[in-house]
Amino acid sequence: MSDFSEELIKSTTEDDQGERCELSGTGMHFPWLQKHIETVATGGKKEKDFAQTTSACLSFIQEALLKHQWQQAAEYMHSYLQVLEDSDSCKRQAAPEIIWKLGSEILYYHPKSNVEAFNTFADRMKNIGVMNYLKISLQHALYLLHHGMLEDANRNLSQAETWRYGEKSSSQEVLINLIQAYKGLLQYYAWSKKKMELSQLDKDDYAYNTASQNMLDHSWKTSVNLGALIQIPGVWDPFVKGYVEMLEFYGDQDGAREVLTNYAYDEKFPSNPNAHIYLYNFLKREKAPREKLISVLKILYQIVPSHKLMLEFHRLLRKSEKEEHHKLGLEVLFGVLDFAGCTKNITAWKYLAKYLRQTLMGSHLAWVQEEWSSRKNWWPGFHFSYFWAKSDWKEDKALACEKALVAGVLSGKGTWLCFLFI
């Protein structure tokens, strides 16, 4: 049995795996274990010729794919299809997924393949066995979506949506939700197209009314489709974005806020910076009070202190009346400049130079000291080294000046002078 297929039918081979891992005692699974055993084992049940040829064929296909020999891979694939008649039921069950995986890849990259061929293949594969219908439908729809065939994709998803087999398992449920969400996304695309048309129409026109009526219908359907999925923990950026846009359009501000807040703050969700960014942007559009904005960005600051919104955050904090916000404003600037990707951000340096001066004038030396104490052993080497001074001066004199100014304020006269006059 090859590694590839093994990994796919993990549920059926779990016991075997456990048996084999037992020796190492670590529970680690080694895909190359079989190879070692084969050099030693002489007895044991021999694989049948059929199994040998199919597994050899599988490895040929994989090899051809990795060498981009699509033509050859397709030829091998032709022979590999015999695996569907394997007498080993466990292999036979795993086969459709492998065939789909490899076959779709071949068809995706093969220079002579086209959408029709892919469609035919996908439709056939869906109905071999029952386990893969949803997965293949979803991927097929994505393929069509990618190729701009939205209607076909929609039809596909609608078909898949109503498909049921046996008891609904949780993975099936997630898949159905996903399918519905993608359908919702398609509807959102249609909606946003209509919205654009609408904006070009005259409001008094008769067509306007029908169009807006259509849009209302869409909105309702979409909200049903999208709403279910985004309750499940995950990263659903495109869905959330579209959903919120629609809710906002129809004036359901509370609903939109709820969706976004849930997306950002639900503990079961991964800490997705975009969730906070969407919420912030929404609140900004809504003209929420500064306090509110600051509290959203504060959390974003904790997750991604290097985000470009941090400069905006700093501006908000600077404008705030609260002293602790002023202090945080300094911290945020330092935080941004800590990151390797931001060292040449001249705005940040400008802000820092200006704000340092302001802070010191406001006799908050302690704040600066606090920030500086943890950085003084590495910022000079990181930002104010001779190398950077030279290269900054060559590339961007303004940046070099700002940096020199900050260096001067922070590290005393000795260092920055040399930095400035290189």
63-122 positions binding another protein, by CB under 8 A: 63, 65-71, 97, 101-102, 104-105, 108-109, 111-112
Tell me how many residues contact another protein (CB under 8 A). Answer: 114
What 3 state SS string does 244-303 have?
A: HHHHHHCCCHHHHHHHHHHHHHCCCCCCCHHHHHHHHHHHHHCCCCHHHHHHHHHHHHHH
Which residues ranging from 239 to 258 are in contact with another protein (CB under 8 A)?
239, 241
Q: Does residue 131 belong to the site contacting another protein (CB under 8 A)?
A: no
Q: Does residue 267 belong to the site contacting another protein (CB under 8 A)?
A: yes
Cα distances from 147 to residues 74, 150, 185, 190, 419, in angstroms, run: 22, 8, 16, 16, 55
CB of 73 to another protein, least distance (A): 11
Q: Does residue 31 belong to the site contacting another protein (CB under 8 A)?
A: yes
**Distant-in-sequence, close-in-space partners of 147: CB < 8 Å, separation ≥ 6:** 115
CB of 204 to another protein, least distance (A): 26
Which residues ranging from 376 to 395 are in contact with another protein (CB under 8 A)?
377-378, 381-382, 385, 387-388
Q: Does residue 306 belong to the site contacting another protein (CB under 8 A)?
A: yes
**CA dist., res. 100 & res. 133, Å (int):** 11
**Burial class, 361, CB count within 10 angstroms (exposed 0-12 / middle 13-18 / buried 19+):** exposed
- Which one of 48, 147, 164, 319 is in contact with another protein (CB under 8 A)? 147
Measured N-to-C along each axis, helices 237-249 and 273-285 cross at an angle, to the nearest 10 degrees, of 10
Q: Does residue 148 belong to the site contacting another protein (CB under 8 A)?
A: yes
CB of 379 to another protein, least distance (A): 9
**CA dist., res. 37 & res. 31, Å (int):** 11
Q: Which is nearer to another protein, 11 or 206 (CB)?
A: 11
Using the contact rule CB under 8 A, the part of the chain among 80-88, 155-163, 166-174, 287-295 near another protein is: 166-174
Task: Convert residues 270-289 into a mask of x (bound to another protein by CB under 8 A) and - (unbound).
Answer: xxxxx--x------------
Q: Does residue 38 belong to the site contacting another protein (CB under 8 A)?
A: yes
Q: Does residue 414 belong to the site contacting another protein (CB under 8 A)?
A: no
**CA dist., res. 32 & res. 11, Å (int):** 19
The answer for 326, left when phi > 0, alpha when psi is -120 to 50, beta otherwise, is alpha
Cβ proximity of 158 and 183 under 8 Å: yes
Q: Does residue 48 belong to the site contacting another protein (CB under 8 A)?
A: no
Which residues ranging from 213 to 242 are in contact with another protein (CB under 8 A)?
232-239, 241
CB of 188 to another protein, least distance (A): 9
Cβ proximity of 359 and 367 under 8 Å: yes
Q: Does residue 36 belong to the site contacting another protein (CB under 8 A)?
A: yes
**CA dist., res. 186 & res. 153, Å (int):** 8
CB of 316 to another protein, least distance (A): 18
Q: Which is nearer to another protein, 227 or 335 (CB)?
A: 335
